[in-house]
Chains A and B, each alone.
Chain A
Amino acid sequence: MTMTNDATGTAKKKLGLKERYALMTRGLDWETTYQPMEDVFPYATYEGIKVHDWDKWEDPFRLTMDAYWKYQAEKEQKLYAIMDAFAQNNGHLGLTDARYINALKLFLTGVTPLEYMAHRGFAHVGRQLPGVGARVACQMQSLDELRHAQTQIHSMSNYNKLYDGFHSWRHMHDRVWYLSVPKSFFDDAITAGPFEYMIAIGFSFEYVLTNLLFVPFISGAAYNGDMGAMAFGFSAQSDESRHMTLGLEAIKFMLEQDPDNLPIVQHWIDKWFWRGYRVLTLVAMMLDYMLPKKVMSWKEAWEVYAEQNGGALFADLARYGIRPPLGWQQACDDKDHLSHQAWATFYQYQAAAPFHTWVPSEEDMAWQADKYPDTFDKYYRPRFEQWAQMEAEGNRFNNGTLPLLCQVCQIPMLFTEPGDPTRICYRESEYKGETYHTCSDGCKNIFDHEQEKYIQAWLPVHQIYQGNCFGPDADPTSPDFNPLLEVIKWYGYNVGVDNRPYEGSEDQTNFRAWKQQTTSNAPAAG
């Protein structure tokens, strides 16, 4: 017998945390012999990433399952108590304004399904990466992402009972034109190999861009009195810090394993920075236009979370030979334009969006002018003023023409040429005798690198023209066939309710009436 307990019963040999964690994870693995390792991990090499020694993987966090259950259960108990209290007390009536709720509609239809995809994606990568430390960390993230999807669904379930546009989030995400932007983003990541997935989601999204997604939404919730959404956001942030360290470890590990990995990883960083940045267009618009009580402008958020934080990150990665992503400069230059161009698009296509839009008020335009002194008054105010006037004349501007979509990011061609905000930017590529359109040099580069992938894209506008977006009872031969109306129905909208301007909407009317009940003794309206 080599070791014995002392009288108080403390452990024989005190194991360090790192050593103990290694025994709890890495020690579990073995080299298979009845089945070849390349069959057990069939997707480990086809991307060209060379790994010589998985033992060099530094565990980004050391959490055994017992501790995980304990901490996470405590967080869940608190979170659901807040959600219940918020619903019980009609917390929604404490919101600044019902326009805010449209930001949540965007979140539930656009972001929550991605949380779910991240859950499945990390289950896949958590099965396929040959390193045990990496697998365990990915599996834990898979479980966390399921948490995020479900807590978001549960939190917004309360809104769905009272407000429009939430009811068919699942159906919409697989069909609606602008939701193909976030959907194709994640489909792209999960269909890539496991290493690229780690750079796409673990690094580019979770590390470089996550603050630009979450901080605006959570602060937006806080500023606008939404305790429910704020609670799930804050609670999720404690998981995000684990996810960020995983993403950073993944990229460092790949770069340290073999110099041949550098160009592959650099291309993925270029690609996924741009893919993620394009998705953030929706966040930019939310921050600047959809929050009644504004937190900060998109430009300010970009400067803090991208230019400062991201700049420091890429300075740190320079020692591996990594340079900032292609497109970085353009993204920085675009910060003065992005949100204005996006909101204008949704305003025009109100009939096709399941949330409400509006012309910014005079007060909001003054805020925009203050935040965007170089661009708002010059390029964007005149358009909004024109639309405000048309509305006043009972002639709201609705665009009935379907837009051309970018083959890669799937956003309508709404972005302007670098350096010239008066000209729409178009790029083209030829492939196998067909012409493919992209919205930017960033998206064109991505297309040209993987044509076989992007020609598969399920482009909503193409699909409409091909007749694939009508319900079974639609009859295109009927004389009064209205194709756009049929598409909207197929999208699952409550037509004329979800997809109408905010002014006069059910949300606006109900919110006002319910709020009145809290402050007066008049009988309930309606």
Chain B
Amino acid sequence: MQIDLRTVSIKPIRQTFTHVADRIGPDKAASRYQEGVLNVQADANFHYRPTWDPDHEIFDASRSKVQMADWYAFKDPRQYYYATYTIARARMQETTEADFEFVEKRGLADTFNAAATRKALDLLVPLRHVAWAANMNNSSICAYGYGTAITAPCMFHAMDQLGIAQYLTRVGLLLGDVSSLDDAKQAWLTEPQWQPLRRYVEDTLVLTDPVELYVAQNMALDGLLYPLVYEKFDAMLTAEAGPTVSMLLRFQSDWFAETSRWVDSTVKTAAAESAANAELLSGWAAAWRDRAVEALAPLMDMALGAEAPAALADAVSAFDTRAAKCGLAI
């Protein structure tokens, strides 16, 4: 039996806002993702030029060499707007919190093999600085990119990277103590094996083309770093000493799987727009991939030992497959 609870039935006079209807048609109800994202950024009649960048408008597509007829061609396959984003992350953090608590309560960090602990501290803790730079870079893409469809998820991504930096900090505190963070920072600043990566990261901090920065950070660096650290290294550590540390890294591996779908979709959309875009993106992806491999090689030697060359080769080949699926020729 169906009970009609409404006393009044009102026929809407329109389904959605004009700028949304212009894209999806006037007779369709729009999703919250669509209403919260499509055309939300101002795009005309800016009053003043930025005093910090007088060559551009406040929002200016010409900050990138990549050109799009429509910057709302980008679609987030996760359909994130603020509410769906925070709710998804709240679930992930609940799991992560439970994992940390499990390890802490049972004192698993203390019974973790000492050599494996050392390895984990040496590789993972300095990566908090890498995540921090990724936070800054995505904040930058959000600020200087064009169109809410790409800029809003970059802010989500920026905050995710801050969260990852904070989880890595907690790993350092759990496996070691405050001095482990200091040691890791020292290694980041001075140890030779970290310098190529630090150079890579600092070079991205001065990039001014938001789409190139997106490729250098979200596609190339993270596309190689995450599989190497959170799959290869994680698997090796688990094989050697059990799954304790792996539990503490679950957020990152789940996150990479989720966000890769969005990164791929973004790159694919930009590349499909024009041959010129595809060429640009392919060039950036290849150049930053090569630099990332070079930057990660000494760290993988340190972390994976003899398995490093094969692991790197695997990661590069997976990356190339991914890039090809996005329509890049590299």
Which residues of A line the B interface, CB within 8 A? 2-5, 9, 11-13, 15, 23-24, 27-30, 32-35, 39-40, 42-43, 46, 64-66, 68-70, 72-74, 76-77, 79-80, 89-90, 93, 113, 116-117, 119-120, 123-124, 126-128, 135-136, 139-140, 142-143, 146-147, 149-151, 153-154, 157, 160-164, 166-171, 173-175, 180, 183-184, 187-188, 190-194, 453-454, 456-458, 463, 492, 506, 510, 514, 517-518
Contacts and interface: CB of A to CB of B under 8 A. Distances in A.
Nearest to B170: A24
| Residue of A13, A65, A164 contacting most chain B CB atoms (<10 Å) | A65
Contacts of A167: 14, 17-18
A169 B16 CA distance: 11
B17 A170 contact: yes
Contacts of A89: 6
B19 interface: yes
Given A73-B89, A160-B14, A28 B165 contact: yes
Interface in B165-188: 165-167, 169, 173, 177-179, 181, 185, 188
Contacts of A46: 51-52
B159 A4 contact: no
Given A30-B189, A142-B139, A456-B47, A66 B163 contact: yes
Contacts of A139: 135, 139, 155, 158-159, 162
Interface string B191-216: 00000001100110110000000000
B142 interface: yes
Interface in B110-147: 110, 128-129, 131-132, 135-136, 139-140, 142-144
Q: Which 5 A-B pairs have the closest CB atoms?
A: A73-B90, A65-B163, A124-B143, A161-B12, A28-B132
B10 to A, nearest CB: 6
A146 B152 contact: yes
B17 A3 contact: no
Contacts of B81: 150
Contacts of B19: 168, 170-171
Contacts of B96: 66
A377 B59 CA distance: 47
Interface of B: 6-8, 10, 12-19, 30, 32, 35-36, 39-52, 58-59, 81-83, 86-87, 89-94, 96-97, 104-107, 109-110, 128-129, 131-132, 135-136, 139-140, 142-144, 148, 151-152, 155-156, 158-160, 162-163, 165-167, 169, 173, 177-179, 181, 185, 188-189, 198-199, 202-203, 205-206
B87 A456 contact: no
A40 B205 contact: yes
Nearest to A456: B48
Nearest to A150: B36
Contacts of B43: 174
B153 to A, nearest CB: 11
B37 to A, nearest CB: 8
27 contacts: A2-B177, A9-B106, A28-B129, A28-B131, A30-B129, A30-B188, A40-B202, A42-B52, A46-B52, A65-B93, A65-B160, A66-B96, A68-B86, A76-B86, A120-B151, A139-B155, A142-B155, A146-B155, A147-B82, A150-B82, A151-B82, A154-B36, A157-B16, A160-B14, A167-B14, A187-B46, A191-B49
Contacts of A24: 165-166, 169
